[in-house]
Chain A
């Protein structure tokens, strides 16, 4: 009886923390977020965390919005060196090594959304289809959040390494 209650509590707590987690094969996709944009911005940024619980590597190869929201999504790597910000497309997609957690985060790797047809407004959400090399595709709702909300939600995940040289 006691065991059952304890297990129930355990189950409930883990269930609530995973409420927003999306499962696609061996991939767990968590904390999808879009960043609020100024009204006339034509570019935006998106973030998410992918846990690859499987035994084989996968790759995030692309992302797409509905045509009336945004034209295209690139995967970009931001790096800082000597105070200079550099941004490059990540050729071939973002690697998701087996057993590892990869976080797309403000100040690091991120989805760069181009050709915005409308601003991304905090409180709204947009359907985004993510494509993975092995796990296939999944469509999820990505909420639009302010930078303050994104920072709070990202606390403890992959802080930016200020000392890392630009990777290219």
Chain B
């Protein structure tokens, strides 16, 4: 009898392990693609980088007020200027006061994008969106902590472009992800997501 009990115990143990593994995997998948509305996922990690004015900036910038967070690069003719334009338009339409919402553009191309590049790129496009760059490894660590995907793609002649995650994170005043706005999302739903964290 004893061997039989043992084998039942073994089967149950394997089943429990498999179930646990499945749940674990599910959690990993869920946090990798936090696309569901109103998910509060723990993303981000402490960082020490520089903004477009050369001032140091840390994760504290995402505390105390809602934040829009986007990862892009300045050699980006399409998605990045469109997103900057949209962020600016949403905030203007919502009549957000200066400083009431933080808006950041973190470069995923820190090897090329200096603070001055980001400033020259962003200032003419926006009064609100501030660029973030820094030592490449530190910038990439920061992007990884938000589980952002990016990948260099050669264009020939040593030039390259980047594929990248192109949604905008909507963070609440505690710096937690409240929502995501997809590229070229309907402006009304985008603004509703921001209005929700404005309270």
Whole-angstrom CA separation of A106 from B77 in the bound complex:
10
Selected contact of B164 from candidates A44, A85, A113, A147, CB within 8 Å: A85
Whole-angstrom CA separation of A158 from B184 in the bound complex:
14
Whole-angstrom CA separation of A84 from B79 in the bound complex:
11
Selected contact of B125 from candidates A38, A85, A87, CB within 8 Å: A38
Contacts of A112 in B (CB 8 A): 77-78
Contacts of A38 in B (CB 8 A): 74, 81, 120-122, 124-125
Query: Does A107 reach chain B (CB closer than 8 Å)?
Result: yes
Whether the Cβ atoms of A84 and B165 lie closer than 8 Å is: yes
Chain B residues within 8 Å of chain A by Cβ, number: 31
Whole-angstrom CA separation of A38 from B131 in the bound complex:
14
Contacts known (A39-B120, A83-B182, A85-B183); A110 close to B74, Cβ less than 8 A: no
Contacts of A113 in B (CB 8 A): 77
Query: Does B82 reach chain A (CB closer than 8 Å)?
Result: yes
Contacts of B117 in A (CB 8 A): 40
Q: How far is the CB of B155 from chain A (nearest CB, A)?
A: 7
- Contact code string B76-88 (vs A, CB < 8 Å = 1, else 0): 1111011001000
Q: How far is the CB of B86 from chain A (nearest CB, A)?
A: 9
Whether the Cβ atoms of B79 and A114 lie closer than 8 Å is: no
Whether the Cβ atoms of A45 and B77 lie closer than 8 Å is: yes
- Contact code string A19-50 (vs B, CB < 8 Å = 1, else 0): 00000000000000001011111111100000
Selected contact of A84 from candidates B85, B122, B164, B184, CB within 8 Å: B164
Whether the Cβ atoms of B159 and A114 lie closer than 8 Å is: yes
Whether the Cβ atoms of A147 and B85 lie closer than 8 Å is: yes
Whole-angstrom CA separation of A78 from B163 in the bound complex:
10
Q: In this complex, which of B78, B164, B166 has the most chain A Cβ atoms within 10 angstroms of its Cβ?
A: B78
Q: How far is the CB of A46 from chain B (nearest CB, A)?
A: 9
Q: Other than A41-B77, A160-B184, give 13 A-B pairs with Cβ distance below 8 A.
A: A41-B75, A43-B77, A74-B155, A80-B183, A83-B35, A84-B163, A106-B78, A107-B78, A110-B77, A112-B78, A114-B159, A147-B81, A162-B182
